[in-house]
Amino acid sequence: MTKYIEESNQIPVIADVDVLVCGGGPAGIGAAIRAAREGVSVMVVEAMDCLGGIATAGMMSHWGGRSSSKVMQEIFDLTYEKAQDAGWHHPNWCGKDAIYHDVQKIVLDEMFLKENIRVLYYTHVCKAVVENGSIIGVIVENKSGRGFIKAKRVVDSTGDGDVAASAGVPYFKGRESDGRMQPCTIMFKICGVDYKRAVFPPSFETTVDTPKGELQALAKELLPFPAGHVLLYTQPTPDTVCCNMTNAIEIDGTDAESLSKGVMICRSQILPIIKFLKEYVPGYENCWLMSTASLIGIRETRHFEGIESLSKDDILEAKFHDNWVVRRAWFNFDVHNLTGASLDKTGVQHGWKQNNDYTIPYGCLLPKTIEGLLLSGRNISGSHLAHSNFRIMSVCIALGEAAGVAAALSVKQGKALRDVDVKEIQEIVGE
């Protein structure tokens, strides 16, 4: 690659905060709210125009899995309450874990305003600034130009770990054996579905026999490869269904060209999928495209080296880590097919025998090499298989809460992040 030398440039210091949270998805929400409640100044930098990450901009159907998160329950209750005014149309079909995307965005804005958390939307974190092995802030870019945000502690909740990568924390991508990463998806919503007759297959392993054939098999045969499965979810709004059915493989979410290719592949599948739903799926005969996600759903990219790293066995054996910062985590190993549609053979959704909750130790949030920085959400340290489990949003928000509390305690006590007493974090985040 030929190189262009960028002119050195003086940029303004646009903020000086105790805790800077990069990325406002589930992990970023948990981190910012918890840090603010510990009385430190908090700022969130978010590339999109809303908080929630994949939950909102990514148009996710519902919050899955389980964890010890308290903030998640608050969000559920507030969103459900607000949604009564906006019309939560399907109380019998949708639990509070269903996402009413636009109401969810409003509720998250309100929560952040209440906690005095500063938010910078449409702002991209471009570079971590590290001095003597510690991160001291990040360079961002937005409509105002480039700026430096000085921070005592930084939480990386960008999903891909853009800050940690820029700071030089070692990582690998995807599956250990070959670097393949999980496929990506653009979620979309359709309307005009007849709920009385409609089917809502929630997993790859849900088969539905219809007069025209079995739905998963028909999808595999008829949808444009690598699409080829049927995943449909009820929504709180009338006659609306959230579709998790587009699929692009061999995409690297940290590479701009590859990411753009993934977007175009997924988007090109949407109309053929709707045609398929109308023709083959009972209750969908009159459905129409309502909206598509503005943020593509990237499932997997970088896995960082932490002081500790979560393994498949930690989850399978539900190991209890004394230095836990997340408790009662539960989900299945959700590995989508890395080379086609549906589920990878290592992924299990039904028939999952593990009913015990697992814990996540503090060391998975601490990068091995850099001080002042916390990993949070789907970019904590863990193996490809463990990641397929802890990437679920209920676990990511709990990871954020732990990071927020740890960052705030470390600022207040003037201690390095790795010296914060885990028992104090545990007391605040709760079991």
Ligand X SMILES: Cc1cc2nc3c(=O)[nH]c(=O)nc-3n(C[C@H](O)[C@H](O)[C@H](O)COP(=O)(O)OP(=O)(O)OC[C@H]3O[C@@H](n4cnc5c(N)ncnc54)[C@H](O)[C@@H]3O)c2cc1C
Binding site for ligand X (CB under 6 A): 22-28, 45-48, 53-54, 57, 60-65, 124-125, 157-160, 162, 185, 244, 295, 297-299, 377-378, 391-394, 396
Residue (186 or 409) nearer to ligand X, CB: 186
Helix (H, G, I), strand (E, B) or coil at 303: strand
Residue number with CB closer to ligand X (258 or 285): 258
> Nearest distance from residue 196's CB to ligand X, in Å?
24
Q: How far is the CB of 67 from ligand X (least distance, A)?
A: 10
Q: What is the DSSP letter of 237?
A: S
What is the distance between the alpha carbons of residues 394 and 71, in angstroms, rounded to a whole number?
A: 10
145 vs 212 by CB, closer to ligand X: 145
Distance (Å, rounded) from C-alpha 158 to C-alpha 75? 20
Residue facing ligand X at closest CB distance: 25
Q: Which of 356, 286, 360 is nearest to 323 (CA)?
A: 360
Q: Quote the tokens at residue 242.
A: 């959230």
Whether omega before 226 lies within 30 degrees of 0, making that bond cis, reads yes
In the complex with ligand X, which residue's Cβ is closer, 46 or 239? 46
Instruction: Please say which residue, 378 or 384, places its beta carbon nearer to ligand X.
Output: 378
Say which amino acid occupies 295: L
Scored b (16 or more CB within 10 A) or e, 411-425 reads beeeeebeebebeeb
Q: Which of 354, 358, 364 is nearest to 399 (CA)?
A: 364
Q: How many angstroms separate the CA atoms of 225 and 234, rounded?
A: 25
Instruction: Determine the number of helices (DSSP H) and then strands (DSSP E) in the chain.
Output: 10, 17
Indicate the residue among 11 and 416 with the shorter CB distance to ligand X: 11
Give the position of tokens 């836990």: 324
| Closest approach of ligand X to the CB of residue 13, in Å | 18
